[in-house]
Amino acid sequence: MHGLGRREFCLVLLRRMADSRPDLVLDALPRLSADRAQAREAHRRWQALRHSSPGVSWHSAVLGPPEECEERRYGDVPLAVRRWPLPLWPHLRWEVVSVDRGPVLTEQLVRAAGSPVPAATPDGLRVWEHVVGDVAVLPGAQGVDPGVTSRWEVHLPGLRAQFVWGLLQQVQPRPR
């Protein structure tokens, strides 16, 4: 592996997803023509890049120019929203929200415009297809921040949906 690009970035995302879904990660590695050693190496290089280049600049260095870029405001704060396609999830985009030319506030997989994935329903949640935004809008949904940057949960009546980098990993019954 000579550099980091979109393929290697997918390997980085898979590294965290392997904590909860090693089965799906092992199935995905051949689709990227990669093995676990290459995923570890991509993660090591990504960590070094992130620590040497804070902010959003490293995303463009690795992923190239964003496919989409828009400005939003949160109160008086101007935000930049950038999105990139990734080869492993063509129906999703990697989204980075940052203070304009400043620190990254959130980064996660989000639904791409025109995605063929059916809308999420409480009894029709699709692992590795639905994202936080699909599930968080369901009736009774409550977002739960587990305190780890790459993780998120949405609690639904009787269910607990767990996400890594915004992508649904598991749906479990929620204890009452």
The answer to the question of residue 123 being in a domain is: no
How many beta carbons lie within 10 A of that of residue 150, not counting itself?
16
Q: What is the pLDDT of residues 4-63, one digit of tens each?
A: 899 999 999 999 999 999 999 999 999 999 998 999 999 888 888 777 666 677 788 889
Lowest-confidence range among 9-13, 70-74, 100-104?
100-104
In the numeric block, which tokens belong to residue 167?
A: 């992508």
Q: What is the pLDDT of residue 2?
A: 52
Q: What is the pLDDT of residue 118?
A: 93
Tokens 């995303």 found at: 59
How many beta carbons lie within 10 A of that of residue 134, not counting itself?
23
The answer to the question of residue 84 being in a domain is: yes
With cut-offs at 50, 70 and 90, classify the pLDDT of residue 93. Answer: very high
Same domain flag for 47 and 67: no
The answer to the question of residue 122 being in a domain is: no
Structural domain including 146 reads 132-173
On the question of pLDDT at 166 being above 80, the answer is yes
Mean pLDDT of 144-172: 95
Q: What is the pLDDT of residue 3?
A: 63
CATH number of the domain within which 100 lies: 3.30.1450.10
Q: What is the pLDDT of residue 1?
A: 42
Tokens 């949160």 found at: 74
Cβ(170)–Cβ(128) below 8 Å: no
The answer to the question of residue 127 being in a domain is: no
Q: What is the pLDDT of residue 54?
A: 61
The answer to the question of residue 61 being in a domain is: yes
The answer to the question of residue 126 being in a domain is: no
Q: Count how many domains the chain has.
A: 3
The answer to the question of residue 70 being in a domain is: yes
Q: Which residues contact 83 (CB under 8 A, 6 or more apart)?
A: 66, 67, 68, 69, 93, 94, 95, 96, 110, 112
- b/e 109-127 (16+ beta carbons within 10 angstroms → b): bbbbeebeeeebebeebee
Nearest 5°: phi and psi at 148?
-120, 130
On the question of pLDDT at 88 being above 60, the answer is yes
Angle between helix 6-17 and helix 36-52 axes, rounded to 10 deg? 100
Same domain flag for 70 and 27: no
The answer to the question of residue 162 being in a domain is: yes
In angstroms, the CA 10 to CA 32 distance is 8
